[in-house]
Amino acid sequence: MQRILLVGKPNSGKTLLFNQLTGLKQKVANFPGVTVELKAGRLNEYELVDFPGAYSLNTLSHDEALAVEKLREAMTSTETSLIVCNLDATRLERSLVFGLQVQGLAQQYKKPILFALNMIDEIARMSHHIDSESLSEVLGSPVIPISAKTRQGIENLKKTIKTITKLPNLYLPKHSVGDEKSIRKLARKVGNQFGIQPEISLRNQNALDHFLLHNSIGGIVFMVVMFLLFQSIFTWAAPLMDAVENGITSLASYISSYLGTGLIADFINDAVFSGIGSFLVFVPQIMVLTFVIGLLEDCGYLARAALICHRPLSYFGLSGRTFIPYLSGHACAIPAIMAARTIESPRKRLITMLTIPLLSCSARLPVYALLVSVFIPEVQYLNGIVSLQGITFFCLYLFGIMTALLVSFMLSRYTKIGKDNVDMPFILELPAYRLPHWKPLINRVMNSGKQFIYRAGPIIFLVSTIVWILGYFPLEPGGLENSYLSKIGHFIEPVFSPLGLDWRYGVAIISSFLAREVFVGTLGTLLGMDGADGDLVGLADKVRSEGMEIGTGIGLLLFYVVALQCVATVAMLRAETGSDKVTLSVVIGYGIFAYFLALLAHILI
């Protein structure tokens, strides 16, 4: 299939434009380095390829290097029909440095090129206008003004793409500017002539940055924002979680009233409703977390937070750019490990990737929520804005962060890991402050919930079903205690009994090595079969009524903070580090560390 390449400077709106043209929903956010791998979609009879952004053909970070390498490769391919180079109209000079370099490549390989002059809605808001026709004459290639946000000019862009792909030879760039120095000179000249003056575009930004990047005020704002972020996950998501829980409980009792008793009824109650239901409750929490992170990204704050964190993170052998993968690691480690591609220093990138699994991702939420509600009373402060359970959550997340920092510190000080690579400087372009763009944000939130269900749902269903079958059969007096599962459980019990956990918790922990959220589902199935009435609220009550000691509970929590129990993360680590040895060491190392923490907590508390 013939291809159209969509390239340009980071954070210039390529992916939003890609989504508008293909109808897909790739991630869009207001900081440089969101897209880290090539993504393809259909635009009429063509394949449209969204590239990671790059500032120049001479690259710094891994994602830029990938973009440039793939771009050079695609240039030589006969399947490449057109290059659409996206320019950020509010930062014309910077967009043109890469744009003119790409135009040079297009001329060399005889490919037509078209410039999409994006963000003209922002330009209009600043009472400015860019004469795109004159700009097109100066550049020697078509320039189409658009707004990927408001869709202004998108139809015109589509029409121009059609015209050019029909008669490509008429649109080949006629001349190229030459070396990097003359490109930068021309970019500055054109930027000054057509673009918006930095004093105007940066006026509001500078005022806000003065406050948010201030040495002490900036630090306090950062702490408050992070505290509210973590509070939101627990306190603010609670009403939504209650709604889902009530919905599932009513559905369960409605369906059970029709099923009567017997094998099918037991299966539906214990495996389906207790197993799957107990993890569905956490979908709203994950969506709230994605919403708050998305809000911070969209308004431009996250890039500032990365800058604030650069100094302290450097102390632990990391970079300011580690901040964004670390933060998104609290939603899911997989995209976070990929996001580490934007880290300029290979050593810091490696250390970041290896420590991301220590951050509390949303799969731990069900486990935390269950144990926190067992041990921590529901006390609220400040009219319900802050709760004791929320504070406990914050401490658990903090523990994950501290452990990640400590491990990074040790890796950077006492090992040679990744040391043979050249170190690169930390450079970060601060995006403009903007109001959030609601549609893509809502899409992301819905997607996060959907993906959690799609990814975890089938595994949980499978594991719950297997656990249920092993626990139900052979149909002998004594029920669960005489089941196959109990035999397996008792066999592995010696591993878990030093932690104060009986065989049922052992089975739940072992089954959660595939994915952590399976723990609650399996426990739901197991305790459901053991007399809980299949209702989800009952799970915490059931654990409490069995008299689990607080030291054991805290030990279990710490175990889940540290242990790397996620097949998908292990596979991703292997792919991104390219080393079996490193991946295996991380899995075993964190496993042993987690076990000893749990043991210590059980003995000491």
Ligand X SMILES: Nc1nc2c(ncn2[C@@H]2O[C@H](COP(=O)(O)OP(=O)(O)OP(=O)(O)O)[C@@H](O)[C@H]2O)c(=O)[nH]1
Residues 116-145 that bind ligand X (CB under 6 A): 118-119, 121-122
Residue 158 burial (C-beta neighbours within 10 Å; 0-12, 13-18, 19+)? middle
Q: Are strands 113-118 and 80-88 parallel, antiparallel or unpaired?
A: parallel
148 binds ligand X (CB under 6 A): yes
How is residue 601 written in tokens?
């907590």
16 binds, among Mg ion, ligand X, none (CB under 5 to 8 A by kind): ligand X
With CB under 6 A as the contact rule, which of the stretches 12-20, 109-117, 172-180, 365-373 interacts with ligand X?
Answer: 12-20
| Distance in angstroms (rounded) separating the CA atoms of residues 517 and 457 | 10
First to last CA, the chain: 64
Phi, psi of 380 (to 5 degrees): -120, 150
Cβ atoms within 10 Å, residue 390:
23
Binding ligand X (rule: CB under 6 A), the pick from 53, 99, 284, 329 is: 53
Q: Are 363 and 516 in contact (CB under 8 A)?
A: yes
Q: Are 110 and 172 in contact (CB under 8 A)?
A: yes
Q: Are 460 and 521 in contact (CB under 8 A)?
A: yes
Phi, psi of 49 (to 5 degrees): -115, 120
| Distance in angstroms (rounded) separating the CA atoms of residues 322 and 342 | 9
Q: Are 194 and 134 in contact (CB under 8 A)?
A: yes
CB nearer to ligand X: pick between 432 and 568? 432
CB nearer to ligand X: pick between 120 and 510? 120
| Distance in angstroms (rounded) separating the CA atoms of residues 99 and 420 | 33
342 binds Mg ion (CB under 5 A): no
Instruction: Please give the single-letter amino acid code of residue 301.
Output: Y
Instruction: Please give the single-letter amino acid code of residue 300.
Output: G
93 binds ligand X (CB under 6 A): no
Q: Are 367 and 566 in contact (CB under 8 A)?
A: no
**Pick from 55, 68, 58: which is nearest to 5 by CA?**
68
* Smallest distance from ligand X to CB 44, Å: 21
* Smallest distance from ligand X to CB 318, Å: 20
Pattern 434-473, ligand X, x by CB under 6 A: ---x------------------------------------
Binding ligand X (rule: CB under 6 A), the pick from 21, 28, 459, 587 is: 28
12 binds, among Mg ion, ligand X, none (CB under 5 to 8 A by kind): ligand X
15 binds Mg ion (CB under 5 A): yes
With CB under 5 A as the contact rule, which of the stretches 13-21, 166-174, 521-529, 563-571 interacts with Mg ion?
Answer: 13-21
Cβ atoms within 10 Å, residue 219:
14
Question: Which of helix, strand or coil describes residue 62?
Answer: helix
CB nearer to ligand X: pick between 307 and 561? 307
CA angle 159, 164, 168 (to 5 degrees): 170
CB nearer to ligand X: pick between 13 and 521? 13
Q: Are 57 and 68 in contact (CB under 8 A)?
A: yes
| Distance in angstroms (rounded) separating the CA atoms of residues 239 and 246 | 10
21 binds ligand X (CB under 6 A): no
With CB under 5 A as the contact rule, which of the stretches 11-19, 184-192, 359-367, 414-422 interacts with Mg ion?
Answer: 11-19
Binding ligand X (rule: CB under 6 A), the pick from 4, 7, 29, 467 is: 29
358 binds, among Mg ion, ligand X, none (CB under 5 to 8 A by kind): none
CB nearer to ligand X: pick between 80 and 118? 118
CB nearer to ligand X: pick between 121 and 481? 121
534 binds ligand X (CB under 6 A): no
With CB under 5 A as the contact rule, which of the stretches 33-41, 129-137, 218-226, 521-529 interacts with Mg ion?
Answer: 33-41
**Pick from 357, 316, 324: which is nearest to 573 by CA?**
357
* Smallest distance from ligand X to CB 66, Å: 12
5 binds Mg ion (CB under 5 A): no
Cβ atoms within 10 Å, residue 205:
15
* Smallest distance from ligand X to CB 323, Å: 15
**Pick from 595, 569, 556: which is nearest to 368 by CA?**
556
Phi, psi of 239 (to 5 degrees): -60, -35
Length in residues, the chain: 605
In DSSP terms, 357 is beta-bridged to: none
15 binds ligand X (CB under 6 A): yes
Count of residues that bind ligand X according to CB under 6 A: 25
35 binds Mg ion (CB under 5 A): yes
Binding ligand X (rule: CB under 6 A), the pick from 7, 13, 212, 525 is: 13
* Smallest distance from ligand X to CB 91, Å: 11
Question: Which of helix, strand or coil describes residue 86?
Answer: strand
CB nearer to ligand X: pick between 33 and 521? 33
Binding ligand X (rule: CB under 6 A), the pick from 7, 21, 22, 33 is: 33
Residues 290-329 that bind ligand X (CB under 6 A): 298
366 binds, among ligand X, Mg ion, none (CB under 5 to 8 A by kind): none
34 binds Mg ion (CB under 5 A): yes
Phi, psi of 56 (to 5 degrees): -160, 165
103 binds ligand X (CB under 6 A): no
408 binds, among Mg ion, ligand X, none (CB under 5 to 8 A by kind): none
83 binds, among ligand X, Mg ion, none (CB under 5 to 8 A by kind): none
CB nearer to ligand X: pick between 118 and 486? 118
Binding ligand X (rule: CB under 6 A), the pick from 4, 5, 7, 11 is: 11
403 binds, among Mg ion, ligand X, none (CB under 5 to 8 A by kind): none
CB nearer to Mg ion: pick between 16 and 157? 16
Inter-axis angle of helices 537-545 and 365-375, nearest 10: 50
12 binds ligand X (CB under 6 A): yes
* Smallest distance from ligand X to CB 6, Å: 9
DSSP per residue, 451-483: HHHHHHHHHHHHHHHHHHHHHH-S--TTGGGGS
CB nearer to ligand X: pick between 265 and 299? 299
* 463 alpha-carbon distance from chain centroid: 26
Which residues bind to Mg ion, rule: CB under 5 A? 15, 34-35
**Footprint on this chain of ligand X (rule: CB under 6 A):** 10-16, 28-30, 32-35, 52-53, 118-119, 121-122, 147-149, 298, 437
